Amino acid sequence: MLYSKLFGKTKKSSKQYDSVNATLLTKSGFIDQVMAGTYTYLPLGLKVLNKIEQIIREEMDTIGHEILMPALTPIVNWQQTGRFETVDVLMKTTPANIFAKAKNDTEYVLNPTHEEVVTPLAQKFILSYKDFPFALYQIQNKFRNEPRVKSGLLRGREFRMKDLYSFHTSEKDLKEYYEKSKEVYMRVFNRLGIGKDTVIVMASGGSFTDDFSHEFQTICDTGEDTVFFVKSKNIYYNKEVTPSKAPKVEYKDEKILPRKDVRGEGIIGVEELAEFLKIPVEKTTKTLLFETDDNRVIAAAVRGGYDINEDKLRKVVKCKALKLASEETVKKVTRAEVGYAGILDLPKSIEVYLDESVGNRTNFETGSNKTHYHSINVNFGKDLPLPKKFYDIKVAKEGDLYPETNEVYKVMRASEVGNIFPLYTKFTEAFNYKFIDRDGKEKPIYMGCYGIGPSRIMGIIVEKYHDDKGIVWPSTVAPFQVHLLGLDMKDESIKFKVYQVYKELIKKNIEVLFDDRENVTAGEKFSDADLIGIPVRLVVSKRTEEKIEYKKRNKNKPELLSLNELLTKLKIKS
Amino acid sequence: MLYSKLFGKTKKSSKQYDSVNATLLTKSGFIDQVMAGTYTYLPLGLKVLNKIEQIIREEMDTIGHEILMPALTPIVNWQQTGRFETVDVLMKTTPANIFAKAKNDTEYVLNPTHEEVVTPLAQKFILSYKDFPFALYQIQNKFRNEPRVKSGLLRGREFRMKDLYSFHTSEKDLKEYYEKSKEVYMRVFNRLGIGKDTVIVMASGGSFTDDFSHEFQTICDTGEDTVFFVKSKNIYYNKEVTPSKAPKVEYKDEKILPRKDVRGEGIIGVEELAEFLKIPVEKTTKTLLFETDDNRVIAAAVRGGYDINEDKLRKVVKCKALKLASEETVKKVTRAEVGYAGILDLPKSIEVYLDESVGNRTNFETGSNKTHYHSINVNFGKDLPLPKKFYDIKVAKEGDLYPETNEVYKVMRASEVGNIFPLYTKFTEAFNYKFIDRDGKEKPIYMGCYGIGPSRIMGIIVEKYHDDKGIVWPSTVAPFQVHLLGLDMKDESIKFKVYQVYKELIKKNIEVLFDDRENVTAGEKFSDADLIGIPVRLVVSKRTEEKIEYKKRNKNKPELLSLNELLTKLKIKS
């Protein structure tokens, strides 16, 4: 490919986006933003995307069959699973104007995921136990109604997705396939050049199961996720589900003091309160009231410095959904203005859930359930009974311990590159999709779903592999294998030689981007090559004489090679 | 590929759809209808689609650069070209439920075509005369708000499209590229196996130009278009733009008779009228009144048996839009009820446009512009003046003559497989996209657009190449090169042999679909093979002994070949 003919060259000045990947990919001519979260892939970017997708395809072909489902789907499919009214990223289509409305006024769903299409599809074809298990996958565009989309290719309103769905006659078979899929996924990430930094992380299984799903997270300083690692067990947790034990806080020679109610009007936040009361933050208590979907009001408390993890709380409370209690409810329950709720003297009808971080303290603070008042020097067994049980209902944070072994977590930033979910019978039941077993009886079908976002991965690779000069592509996904720069091309003999090298490389089926521009300085060519990030840079110039300069993008030292040496180096039989 | 493992096998009974392609492709397991106009491509179908798209891609790469644009686009892009309020196939997205609405309430266009994305994209990158001409293309999903979608893959609400856009510094350069694109398109259709029956047809250039666009039409009995061929000139016209001259109708020894107004209450249609008046249909006249966008009322008339072509009429009348006059206007102008309008005695303010078919007649009929009355024995020069000019404002029909040579058109059914449009400066002007010429001045940019629908082509190939047993794929797009049937496989030696043949073919990189099912009769395997339509069928059975039976899908006679002979026949070096 001649760079002079390429559509989408590097830009001298380019907008700084909110993420490294958007900034670098735009400046180097891989993508163009149509609007936030929606990009055009320019020729260079499309080459990378295709390579990523082809690697994914080859690996998925070992465990499933490729198909291609439409993005548009009848609304009734989504009503059948109850998701039409609840999924908050769901978009539908509607005619854009009066002429369109007159032509066809029907609305359709624009799929953000395809369980609602693939389940009825499978149901049309495979019913007998003999044909299970099987798996179907596709690579196509997904649509999500995201607000304020940031992070370049990492989060999109329209993005590329590989989604695979597996179907099984038993939970055991699902689990076996699920484990196998982890291996296949790791092969994909290895081939994409991110395998050694990608780990399998326990994550939430969604609201319909207490089970975990699994995320593949690539360790990366700019990652938007936080991963907690238990070294002795070699387990990784996503922050959202990390079991957490607060480190013990001890203050020497503490005597039990008498409870005291202190007036502190309008002092609400724990930091402000600790300062006001002249006590450590760890001695404060954060108490929140919630209302559940089954009409209970509950109180939940964590030690100051922590937040409540609503997902953990929901599971402990055993309800399907909960939300912060209304001002009205708080006033009724605490008989105080909002901001002074505490764990003291609550009505008996209120269930109280205390995080383990609330325990093991002496002379702690809690709201007084009295407007403008905070109680200090509160102690279990004196001012309130020691609860029968403490829970883990907090958001884990750095410094927390893994409860089982009491070891401190290693905490790291990471970016999600894939996720897999055991769906069990949620969708097959919604569509009444059953199989006919050996005994002639209808039995439930178990499903799993398995996602990888190729466009997202393109962004993550750039987040992970770049330096201050530009992108550093892994060789398997680079748009070209080598970037050939012709310098001093006004000299006809040099020009002849560089075209010779170009032709020779093409003949050997090497993917070459040839910077053949004649009106551009050597400096510009070098900095463009660094920005674009192709793994191998070749230079032919006066200075290289009969040789060709060879330099890897991730190394500093160039070498001078003959054409034959070069071809050998590029592992090509000449 | 083992057929036993394939997802999407042939169906014993399958719905009859409204088109051959939908019926056959569904029954044979290539596609599955999600809703009218929206299909899932099953593994077999996706293989065909990919082959079609790869052929298109390889040819387009010779004249353009591949990119990938999003389907979602800001509404403002479409407002800028004035098409947001007018394009009747345009859909927009909107949040599907209250949670989605709370998250992001913005609406977006779902593109049915990409001028609104590609023009501002090009504008960001290429401004200097030095970088012109250039062309960008993509292959992705398009969305159209179609009503009552029929015809299987031929018309979709979501469908695959290759759309290329070219940019030029002059009309001359656009025209040169446009001609070159015709050659490239014909190479595509040749490679797809439909080249010899595909012709380039003049079609409407759309409402913004009097120029023609060009369609590539594949002659096909079930085609939805009608093509008119002028043999001496080797020109094809789409019916919608065919210049037409009505064949002369002569009645011997006719004397000019006196005009007579005949009462015929409620007799409106020309057929009914001719019968009532006992005259040939050709002697009747169909007169319609129209209102134009510039507030004129005009009368247009064609000979009975013809319809008015509003597009031709619009160009003759020189207006941007016209519609049938309202009942109120008709009554005011004709001073009669609707249904009795004629070309006699109309008010002077009304412009009258007569089709040439109205002339050259003696003693003809026309509405009397008098409720319940029809005038017969009307003659030009006696009952009304001979007009200065006759026009061609009718829809062409079989039997019509090409005006220039007076030869009768050859008329044929055809299906559109591609179309190309000179867009001139319509879109570049809307986005104020200009280039900077050698002289430093800004000048207009000329554009063309060039479409091919890969999914539509898949349907047309089936419409064209099938028999009463099933599909007959051209070899370049067939899902596999050969379909190997193993019969009598309960015999272990036969089973061994057929697997040997399978492995040998795979080793030679031949794409094989191997019907390895053991619980299916020979008859079923043969009829499935005919239905699926792979070009070569191979059989290994007791009867074939040491040989392999070779039969082409489009031939009746099988041959018995040795493995070596077979490999030679399949043009593979063994």
Segment B483-510, tens digit of pLDDT: 999 999 999 999 999 999 999 999 999 9
Query: Has residue B404 got a pLDDT over 80?
Result: yes
DSSP string covering A133-169: SEEEEEEEEEE---SS--SGGGS-SEEEEEEEEEEES
Asked whether the whole model's pTM tops 0.90, one would answer yes
d(C-alpha B569, C-alpha B574), whole Å: 11
Count structural domains, chain A.
4
Residue A207's pLDDT is 58
CA distances from residue A156 to A39, A145, A159 in whole angstroms, order as listed: 8, 9, 5
Q: Is the peptide bond before A347 cis (omega within 30 degrees of 0)?
A: no
Q: For residue B154, name the pLDDT band (cuts at 50, 70, 90).
A: very high
B41/B151 same-domain check: yes
Contact A10, A130 (CB under 8 A): no
Q: Which residues of B touch A134 (CB under 8 A)?
A: 7
* A513 three-class SS: strand
d(C-alpha A316, C-alpha A301), whole Å: 13
In the predicted model, what is the mean pLDDT of residues A48-62? 98
Contact across the interface for A72 and B8, Cβ inside 8 Å: no
Greatest distance between any 2 Cα atoms in chain A: 95
Token pair belonging to A442: 């209808």
Closest partner CB to B38 (pick from A67, A72, A91): A72
In a mutational test of the B interface, the residue from A3, A38, A166 whose CB has the highest number of chain B CBs within 10 Å is A38
Q: Is the peptide bond before A479 cis (omega within 30 degrees of 0)?
A: no
- Is there a domain that residue B396 lies in? no
Identify the residue with better confidence: A523 or B293: A523
A187/A319 same-domain check: no
B39/B167 same-domain check: yes
Token pair belonging to A397: 């944070």
Among candidate residues A378, A403, A421, the one where a domain is terminated: A378
Q: How far is CA A67 from the centre of its chain?
A: 25
The reply to whether B7 touches chain A by the CB within 8 Å rule is: yes
SS3 percent helix, strand, coil of chain A, rounded to 5, is 30, 30, 40
Query: Has residue A211 got a pLDDT over 80?
Result: no
A444/A563 same-domain check: no
- Look at residues A458, A419, A415 and name the one whose alpha carbon lies nearest to residue A113: A419
The reply to whether A1 touches chain B by the CB within 8 Å rule is: no
d(C-alpha A546, C-alpha A160), whole Å: 46
Closest partner CB to A67 (pick from B9, B40, B104): B40
Mean per-residue pLDDT of chain B: 94
The reply to whether B8 touches chain A by the CB within 8 Å rule is: yes
Query: Has residue B184 got a pLDDT over 80?
Result: yes
Of the given ranges (A98-102, B106-110, B122-126, B377-381), which has the lowest mean pLDDT? A98-102
Q: For residue B210, name the pLDDT band (cuts at 50, 70, 90).
A: low
Residue A574's pLDDT is 44
For residue A556, the domain's CATH number is 3.40.50.800
d(C-alpha A106, C-alpha A110), whole Å: 13
The reply to whether A12 touches chain B by the CB within 8 Å rule is: no
Q: For residue B209, name the pLDDT band (cuts at 50, 70, 90).
A: low
- Is there a domain that residue A24 lies in? no
Closest partner CB to B65 (pick from A7, A69, A136): A7
The reply to whether B67 touches chain A by the CB within 8 Å rule is: yes
- On the CB side of B474, CA atoms within 13 Å amount to 22
The reply to whether A110 touches chain B by the CB within 8 Å rule is: yes
The ipTM of this complex is 0.91
d(C-alpha A526, C-alpha A551), whole Å: 11
Residue B574's pLDDT is 44
In a mutational test of the B interface, the residue from A44, A50, A62, A97 whose CB has the highest number of chain B CBs within 10 Å is A97
- Is there a domain that residue B347 lies in? yes
- Looking at residue B284, its amino acid is T
- Look at residues B406, B543, B145, B572 and name the one whose alpha carbon lies nearest to residue A110: B145
Contact B70, B141 (CB under 8 A): no
The reply to whether A43 touches chain B by the CB within 8 Å rule is: yes
Contact across the interface for B104 and A6, Cβ inside 8 Å: no
Contact across the interface for A88 and B68, Cβ inside 8 Å: no
B335-364 per-position pLDDT tens digit: 999 999 999 989 999 999 999 999 989 999
A528/A499 same-domain check: yes
| Nearest-by-CA chain A residue for B123 | A8
Greatest distance between any 2 Cα atoms in chain B: 95
Contact across the interface for A96 and B84, Cβ inside 8 Å: yes
Query: Has residue B414 got a pLDDT over 90?
Result: yes
Token pair belonging to B322: 């016209």
Residue A266's pLDDT is 87
Closest partner CB to A117 (pick from B34, B102, B126): B34
d(C-alpha A305, C-alpha A286), whole Å: 8
d(C-alpha B494, C-alpha B162), whole Å: 46
| Nearest-by-CA chain B residue for A32 | B121
Contact A346, A387 (CB under 8 A): no
Contact across the interface for A100 and B94, Cβ inside 8 Å: no
- Is there a domain that residue B266 lies in? yes
d(C-alpha B353, C-alpha B366), whole Å: 14
B210-214 contacts at long range (C-beta below 8 A, 24 or more positions apart): B210/B315, B211/B422, B212/B241, B213/B419, B213/B420, B213/B421, B213/B422, B214/B182, B214/B419, B214/B420
- Looking at residue B421, its amino acid is F
What residues make up the domain containing A76?
72-110
Query: Has residue B140 got a pLDDT over 60?
Result: yes
Q: Which residues of A touch B103 (CB under 8 A)?
A: 88-89, 145-147
Residue B129's pLDDT is 95
B511 DSSP assignment: -
In the predicted model, what is the mean pLDDT of residues A150-179? 96
A42 DSSP assignment: P
In a mutational test of the A interface, the residue from B34, B53, B78 whose CB has the highest number of chain A CBs within 10 Å is B34
* B165 three-class SS: strand
A173/A219 same-domain check: yes
In the predicted model, what is the mean pLDDT of residues A469-493? 97
Do strands B65-66 and B134-143 pair parallel, antiparallel, or not at all (unpaired)? parallel
CA distances from residue A140 to A123, A246, A475, B43 in whole angstroms, order as listed: 22, 44, 24, 15
Token pair belonging to A394: 């907090």
The reply to whether A324 touches chain B by the CB within 8 Å rule is: no
The reply to whether A104 touches chain B by the CB within 8 Å rule is: yes
B57/B190 same-domain check: yes
- Is there a domain that residue B52 lies in? yes
d(C-alpha A241, C-alpha A236), whole Å: 10
CA of A29, closest CA in chain B: separation in Å? 9
A147/A221 same-domain check: yes
- Look at residues B567, B568, B561, B521 and name the one whose alpha carbon lies nearest to residue B545: B561
The reply to whether A2 touches chain B by the CB within 8 Å rule is: no
| Nearest-by-CA chain A residue for B117 | A34
Contact across the interface for B67 and A92, Cβ inside 8 Å: no
- Look at residues B45, B348, B25 and name the one whose alpha carbon lies nearest to residue A70: B45
| Nearest-by-CA chain A residue for B12 | A125
Four-point Cα dihedral B257, B260, B263, B267, nearest 10: 50
A449/A543 same-domain check: no
> Which phi and psi (to 5°) does residue A286 adopt?
-100, 115
Q: For residue A214, name the pLDDT band (cuts at 50, 70, 90).
A: very high
Query: Has residue A205 got a pLDDT over 80?
Result: no
| Nearest-by-CA chain A residue for B92 | A96
Residue A294's pLDDT is 87
Token pair belonging to A305: 């410095």
B48/B172 same-domain check: yes
Mean per-residue pLDDT of chain A: 94
The label of the residue with tokens 């017969």 reads: B376
Burial B353-385 (b: 16+ CB within 10 A, else e): bbbbbbeebbbbbbbbbbebbbbbbbbbeebbe
A148/A285 same-domain check: no
Residue A206's pLDDT is 66
The reply to whether B518 touches chain A by the CB within 8 Å rule is: no
For residue A441, the domain's CATH number is 3.30.930.10
d(C-alpha A146, C-alpha B100), whole Å: 9
Do strands B225-230 and B410-424 pair parallel, antiparallel, or not at all (unpaired)? antiparallel
B295-339 per-position pLDDT tens digit: 999 999 999 999 999 989 999 999 877 889 999 999 999 999 999
* B253 three-class SS: coil
Among candidate residues A354, A378, A402, the one where a domain is terminated: A378
Query: Has residue A51 got a pLDDT over 70?
Result: yes
| Nearest-by-CA chain A residue for B99 | A88
For residue A345, the domain's CATH number is 3.90.960.10
Reduced 3-state DSSP string for A384-400: ECCCCCCECCECCCCCC
B127/B228 same-domain check: yes
Query: Has residue A545 got a pLDDT over 80?
Result: yes
Task: Tell me the residues of chain A between 128 and 187 that have a Cβ less than 8 Å away from chain B.
Answer: 134, 136, 140-141, 143, 145-147, 157-158
The label of the residue with tokens 């072909």 reads: A61
> CB under 8 Å to B564, separation ≥6 — which residues?
B574
Percent of chain B at pLDDT > 70 equals 99
- Look at residues B44, B159, B142 and name the one whose alpha carbon lies nearest to residue B515: B44
The reply to whether B87 touches chain A by the CB within 8 Å rule is: yes
Contact A156, A459 (CB under 8 A): no
Residue B143's pLDDT is 97
Residue B207's pLDDT is 58
Contact across the interface for A90 and B97, Cβ inside 8 Å: yes
Query: Has residue B165 got a pLDDT over 60?
Result: yes
Among candidate residues A60, A93, A110, the one where a domain is terminated: A110
B45 DSSP assignment: H
- Is there a domain that residue A76 lies in? yes
In the predicted model, what is the mean pLDDT of residues B22-44? 96
β partners of residue B419:
B215, B451
In a mutational test of the B interface, the residue from A110, A111, A126 whose CB has the highest number of chain B CBs within 10 Å is A110
- Is there a domain that residue A248 lies in? no
Q: How far is CA B546 from the centre of its chain?
A: 50
Residue B459's pLDDT is 97
- Is there a domain that residue A146 lies in? yes
Cβ neighbours around A523 below 10 Å, total: 8
Contact A460, A194 (CB under 8 A): yes
Identify the residue with better confidence: A174 or B266: A174
CA of B327, closest CA in chain A: separation in Å? 21
Q: How far is CA A386 from the centre of its chain?
A: 40
- Look at residues A52, A12, A16, A11 and name the one whose alpha carbon lies nearest to residue A29: A11
Contact across the interface for B73 and A97, Cβ inside 8 Å: no
- Looking at residue A544, its amino acid is T
